[in-house]
Structure 1
Amino acid sequence: MTWLSALRTLSAQASADTDLLEVLCLVADTARTLLGFDFCGVLIPDAHRERLLVQGWSGLSEEYVRRVNSDRPIRLDSRSPSSRSFHQGEPVAIRDVRIEPDFALWAGVAQDQGYRAIVAVPLIAGTEVLGTLNGYYTSVHTFTRHEIERLILLANHAAIAVTSARRLDELRALTSSLREQRDALARSEQIHERLLTVTLRSGGISGIAAALSELIGRPVLIDDGRQAEIARAGDGIEFPTPAARSAVAERDTTGPSPTVEPVSVASDVATGWLVAGVRLGSEVAARIWFPGDVEALDPLQIRAVEHASIVVSVELLRERTAAEVERRLSGELLTDVLSSSGELPEPLLIRAQRLGHDLGVAHVAIVAALAGPSEAGLRQAWQRALARVTELASAYQPRPLVAMHGGMLVTLWPDGADAGTPPGVMVQRAMAEVSQSVTATVAVSPTYGADHGEGYQIARSALEIATRAGRTDTVITLEDLGIVGLLLQLEDPAKLTAFATRTLEPVVAYDAKHRTELMSTLRAYFASRQERNATADSLLVHPNTVAQRLRRIEQLCGVDLADPATIVQFSSALTVYDVAAPG
């Protein structure tokens, strides 16, 4: 009855809500009680299967268990009785450990514990050896076959109990993990819903930054792809400067997914920084910055940042879509306005009012061009310039009309929208800021009350004249062009073209017929301030050749190129001719 009762208790405990270590101690205690050992222990391999550890025991001292498990380890590749039994799957008994050579390493701890004899029996479940059940006697002892068979019988029951307890432990761990995952998923959904609610309530990126700062308990800064600050939340910290953030952006540390990554930032502030990229397609459209290190973040904080990255990308996409629609509508409106002459029709004025523009008041036309070293970089600069000038215009009432037209950026700026700084200067500065590799040239027309198309044509012509004369990266007004500026204001542009053609026609015709270079000589002559030697140097010809060509021009046109009136006439005609008939 003692055996049956003990085995029944062992099976019941293994199937109950008892952890594995308690079951192992119960196995050791049962073996000691039923078989009369002085001490018992259950040894189980460690996680790396390099050593056998005493995991359950009865009668053994805490000091003995500690020493065997630490400074006197039972390695699985050793010749200890436990290791041999584990590998062979057979009982291994030692009558007297003091005379056993293979036991020399543990002789000291055995003497301290006070045992002389040991038997190790494998715990076998199916084809797997789980560990060993060890019995110890304080005196020298010869283990009989009957004793070993009884120990094997108990070990078999113990193996079943250990397997059951291990499965229950694994099931409890799995259940706990599933609960944690369930709770984390629920919390993750709450985080996502909270951040998404901000966007649905039109909280914008500033609202997202505030919600994220509260969720992770840290200040947050969100900047765009050009390191311009979009939003900031939280106080008490100095964020990296735009230049420092730009250096990080050039290294492109962010991966394809919104992963939180530590970054090295050159800063006087001794703070570690974390950043998460916000991607739209392959483009890093924004970055989320906050202080700390990855190890200090819990999984939900990381999840909050990842969700915020996704929600910011949705908000940026919404803003870009709205801006794209607005740009398309503004472009269509500008095309219709510039193609109209005189007073604008009422339907066109109403369309403009719906977009926030009052085209019934006087405007100046601003025409701008960009120049840069690469076509790809220039395309990107145009996109940024349009967005930047549109953003600039949105701060004024009545709102200026901004759109691309004819390959130029055109702005109709209301004369009543007092900006303090001249509008042309503001537009030129805004465009020049989009990239260090581009130059922005802007021309501004006089104020026109109704005919916006005429103002546009004058500003565009002024821009072309200025750029052909090498005047770039600046703001051009008609006053800057002198007599040409006055000529550009003629009511009939055809008259201006006719003036240029009439003045230069004899020279153009002679060049075409005789394949001479009188026109290029005339241009170089005026560009060199009527200095013949300088003209010859620029054309790489002899000064006498220049003199001959100039006399030919005077003969063809019947003029004296030394006459001040002729100088004004021909220099103006050349400028206008190059705009009206390039090449």
Structure 2
Amino acid sequence: MVTITVRDVVRLALPEGTNIVAGAAGLGRQVSWIATLRATLPAFAELRGGELALLSVEAALALDPRLTLAVLVRRLAQAPVPIAGVAVLGTITPEDQQAAEDARLPLLQLPEGVDLREVEREITRLITDYEAQFERRAARLYDLLTQCSLQGGGISGLLDILHERTGQSVAFYASNGVLRAQRGRGQSRLALQALRPNGRGETTLLNQQIWVEPIGNSGLPIGYVAIAGTLLDPWDRTAAQRGALALALELAKEQAVQAAEERLRGDFIAGILAGAPGDLAAVIQRGQELGYTLHLPHTAMLVHIDDASTATLARAATNIQNELKRLGVNAPISRRESNVLCMLPTTSVTRLRELTEQLRERLRLDHPNVVIAIGTPATHLTEWRRSVEEAEQSLSLGRQIFGNDRVLAFGDLGVYRLLIRLRETPELWSFYRETLSSLAEYDKRQHADLIKTLEAYFNHLGNLRATSEALHVHRNTLLYRLERIKEISGMDLDNAEEHFALWLAVRAHRILATLEE
């Protein structure tokens, strides 16, 4: 037979809104039966120990004006075999609370207006048929959660209910294990903050027991709900499971809203990038309706994930939207064929760098190979296309120059910005043929590294020792290569004009390579 404790009665039998006002240390006491107030003195008769006393303060005083709750608590606590606790309908005074604390006797205050006979029936069901009452309460909890979701309570409302119905700390995490919201206090709250869930099951952290339940498909969850406390029981795990079901509905609703918003935002950006100047007034009005601060400069940001599927890009767009919302930024976002475009409202270059770095760190938790590229600020809607083109150029060229371990900014490209503008002109191709094409052809034919050597030489400002160390070659090998560069190209590195021409040609080499890609 299942052992029923006062804590079980509170969570599985007493009405919603019942408060533990004193004697919490005794919540683990076993409840054997219910004892109700008699119509005549003595107020309670034939107590055998382990009963949960159920009474109305008003009825007790009507029975005997001297029979205050504090007096009753002291008498019940002094019984030869102590009772389990006291559930009370009516006003509880500080004296009553102190009496219960002194006796370490749980004192439970029932919500105003409840029917004590119905309360008694619920407790009886729990004691006589624990499993049936457990299932009834679990079904009621799920109904309560779904009603909360339907009424717009959101994730915070669902967590409030789970926290209230279990008395434990609860938390909701995104699919990558990042904490999004939590309710609770003390050590269990800290444990949930340190947790990074990645699957269903039980764990221990900071001396707290934690149960994690995936939300949605357990193979590919859309999030996690976790419950933590000093000691968890089947009700806590069931509450987490019901909570996961309700959160799945809430997230589906949230994703539907976000998808609709994403379409609106994507259409908004497309309208600006493709629209004629005559349409700008309507676009500005529409942007204001969507909450955009169009008077601020906007900078194009491209979020690229190698070989990303449509689902991956959709998840990335959602993550961007959630993170921007958390940072208090409202920006139009458009999911494109191979990346996500976002027009960030920015007031300064410093703020832009901070914002994009924050986004990059956040997205890397879910997409380790994410690359972010940005253009330069566009002060007017008519300049958005230019900022987008710059972000695209930063993405294609910046990865070759700087790698993927930073935000790729068009403003950091330096002389490459000039060369990008010239890369399709005959003048740049002619300059390249006159300076570097012979070296490029030699490298390709002989599988050599003369251009790589020349680039390292320039990067280390002509320092032979630093260049040879960077290339992992002997100094004599480096000198031989430099001599071969002079012979093949016909250019002398000791000549300032020709030195500069080769330096510029090496950078043009990278630019022209992007055309082939």
TM-score (norm 1): 0.54
For 2:324, which of 393, 414, 417 is the aligned residue? 393
Amino acid at match of 2:375: S
Residues 539 and 351 (structure 1), Cα distance of their counterparts in 2 relative to 1, 3 Å cut: farther
Aligned to 1:222: 172
Separation of aligned partners in 2, 1:235 and 1:242: 10
For 2:143, which of 182, 187, 193 is the aligned residue? 193
Indicate whether 1:463 and 2:395 are aligned: yes
Aligned to 2:456: 527
Q: Secondary structure at the match of 2:195?
A: helix
Aligned to 1:210: 160
**Structure 1 runs not aligned, ≥5 long:** 1-174, 255-262
Once the two structures are superposed, the pairs formed by residues 128-527 of structure 1 within 5 Å of their partners are: 187-241=137-191, 245-246=195-196, 249-250=197-198, 252-254=199-201, 263-267=202-206, 269=207, 271-280=208-217, 282-284=219-221, 285-291=223-229, 293=231, 296-297=233-234, 303-340=238-275, 345-359=280-294, 361-370=296-305, 385-395=316-326, 399-405=330-336, 407-416=338-347, 422-435=351-364, 438=368, 440-448=370-378, 449=380, 450-486=382-418, 488=420, 493=421, 497-506=425-434, 507-508=436-437, 516=445, 521-527=450-456
Separation of aligned partners in 1, 2:350 and 2:188: 32
Preserved CA contact (<8 Å) 2:320 2:359: yes
Separation of aligned partners in 2, 1:421 and 1:241: 35
Separation of aligned partners in 1, 2:270 and 2:409: 23
Separation of aligned partners in 1, 2:471 and 2:171: 59
Separation of aligned partners in 1, 2:502 and 2:169: 67
Q: Give the length in aligned residue pairs.
A: 381
Aligned to 1:573: 508
Q: Secondary structure at the match of 2:189?
A: coil
Preserved CA contact (<8 Å) 2:439 2:450: no
The superposition leaves residues 384-403 of structure 1 with CA deviations (integer Å, 9 ceiling, x where unpaired) of 54333222323567722233
Separation of aligned partners in 1, 2:443 and 2:219: 58
Cα distance, 1:311 vs structure 2 = 0.7
Larger radius of gyration: 1
Q: Secondary structure at the match of 2:342?
A: strand
Separation of aligned partners in 2, 1:390 and 1:302: 32
Separation of aligned partners in 2, 1:307 and 1:233: 17
Preserved CA contact (<8 Å) 1:445 1:477: yes
The superposition leaves residues 462-517 of structure 1 with CA deviations (integer Å, 9 ceiling, x where unpaired) of 333221124431234444332223555xxxx4676544323213554896699746
Amino acid at match of 2:209: G
Amino acid at match of 2:397: I
Cα distance, 1:383 vs structure 2 = 5.6
Residues 343 and 238 (structure 1), Cα distance of their counterparts in 2 relative to 1, 3 Å cut: farther
Cα distance, 1:414 vs structure 2 = 1.9
Cα distance, 1:407 vs structure 2 = 2.5
Separation of aligned partners in 2, 1:532 and 1:265: 57
More deviation, 312-321/232-241: 232-241
Cα distance, 1:454 vs structure 2 = 0.8
Identical columns (%) = 14
Cα distance, 1:315 vs structure 2 = 0.7
Cα distance, 1:303 vs structure 2 = 4.9
Q: Secondary structure at the match of 1:272?
A: strand
TM-score (norm 2): 0.60
Preserved CA contact (<8 Å) 1:191 1:307: yes
The superposition leaves residues 174-233 of structure 1 with CA deviations (integer Å, 9 ceiling, x where unpaired) of x99998887666544432322111111211111111112222233322333333223323
Separation of aligned partners in 2, 1:345 and 1:524: 51
Amino acid at match of 2:175: G
Separation of aligned partners in 2, 1:311 and 1:537: 59
**Structure 2 runs not aligned, ≥5 long:** 1-124
For 1:552, which of 488, 498, 505 is the aligned residue? 488
Q: Secondary structure at the match of 1:563?
A: helix
Preserved CA contact (<8 Å) 1:428 1:441: no
Q: Secondary structure at the match of 2:172?
A: strand
Cα distance, 1:370 vs structure 2 = 4.8
Amino acid at match of 1:429: Q
Separation of aligned partners in 2, 1:272 and 1:513: 67
Preserved CA contact (<8 Å) 1:245 1:265: no
Q: Secondary structure at the match of 1:226?
A: coil
Q: Secondary structure at the match of 1:356?
A: coil
More deviation, 461-470/313-322: 461-470
Residues 472 and 435 (structure 1), Cα distance of their counterparts in 2 relative to 1, 3 Å cut: closer
Amino acid at match of 1:367: L
Once the two structures are superposed, the pairs formed by residues 22-101 of structure 1 within 5 Å of their partners are: none
Amino acid at match of 2:147: T
Cα distance, 1:289 vs structure 2 = 1.1
